[in-house]
Amino acid sequence: MNLKRKIEVKTIFNKISYRYDFLNTLLSLGLHKLWKRKLVDLLKPQDGEAWADLCCGTGDMAFLICNKVSPNGSITGIDSAKEILNIAKKKSYICKNKFIKWEIMDVLEIDQLDNSFDGICMSYGLRNLENVEAGIKKVFNLLSNRGRAGFLDFHHSKKNTLPNILQTLYLRLIVVPISKLFNLSSEYSYIERSISKFPKRDELVKIAKDVGFQKIYYKSIFCDQMGILILQK
């Protein structure tokens, strides 16, 4: 396992936690909320089901799913970065939501029994794991029979294609300069590096198939800038 990358990612998210929600909304013009709702709509969480939001950050996905699986289901938000998880807990306290369970833990080190969840989601988290294949395999093992999982992340386009050029310009000319105003430019410049190491669509589909998922669906959205991966056992 790449311990250096694991520590780097945790450090980045702890440092940007205080501006994470604000910058997500600013840099995406609020569209990230629509993409997350689309992911939930595709996953169709049902009342009474047990769900997990892995790499949950400040809990956006957990709150969306909570509305679908309550009052008879459960939702657990899991993240390895303490500071960003504390913000999720604070948001939960403010809205008096005692339904969501929050746990600080690395995704690849989750020690819950296999087949624990009917559904799992991960928003902008798979790309940041030490090993993407190990992450998808962990999700497979945690899912119950016929359980489903959904991932939202940057779409990794082929180099020098129009989507790739637009993504590069966006990250270098908009994301990094704006984050620099908050002394977070080095943290946000990490995004481009992480995308370059992230498997492309066909690679993700192959990994999921090799792991054992029976149904696999991938859709690029927002002019091929983002991608949604839906998996079912």
- In angstroms, the Cα distances linking 19 to 12, 59, 74, 197, 223 are 12, 14, 28, 25, 26
Q: What is the pLDDT of residues 161-216, one digit of tens each?
A: 999 999 999 999 999 999 999 999 999 999 999 999 999 999 999 999 999 999 99
- Of the pLDDT bands very low, low, confident and very high (cuts 50, 70, 90), residue 95 is confident
Q: How far apart are CA 27 and CA 131, in angstroms?
A: 27
Supply the pTM of this predicted model. Answer: 0.95
- Of the pLDDT bands very low, low, confident and very high (cuts 50, 70, 90), residue 78 is very high
Between 167 and 111, the higher pLDDT residue: 167
Q: How far apart are CA 63 and CA 100, in angstroms?
A: 8
Q: Are 213 and 232 in contact (CB under 8 A)?
A: yes
Q: What is the pLDDT of residues 119-169, one digit of tens each?
A: 999 999 999 999 999 999 999 999 999 999 999 999 999 999 999 999 999
Q: What is the DSSP string of 36-101?
A: HHHHHHHH---TT-EEEEET-TT-HHHHHHHHHHTTTSEEEEEES-HHHHHHHHHHHHHTT--SEE
Give me the pLDDT at residue 72, please.
95
Looking at the chain, the number of H-run helices and the number of E-run strands are 11, 7
Give me the pLDDT at residue 98, please.
83
- Of the pLDDT bands very low, low, confident and very high (cuts 50, 70, 90), residue 97 is confident
List domains and CATH numbers for the chain. Answer: 3-232 (3.40.50.150)
Q: What residue type is assigned to position 160 of the chain? A: N
Q: What residue type is assigned to position 57 of the chain? A: G
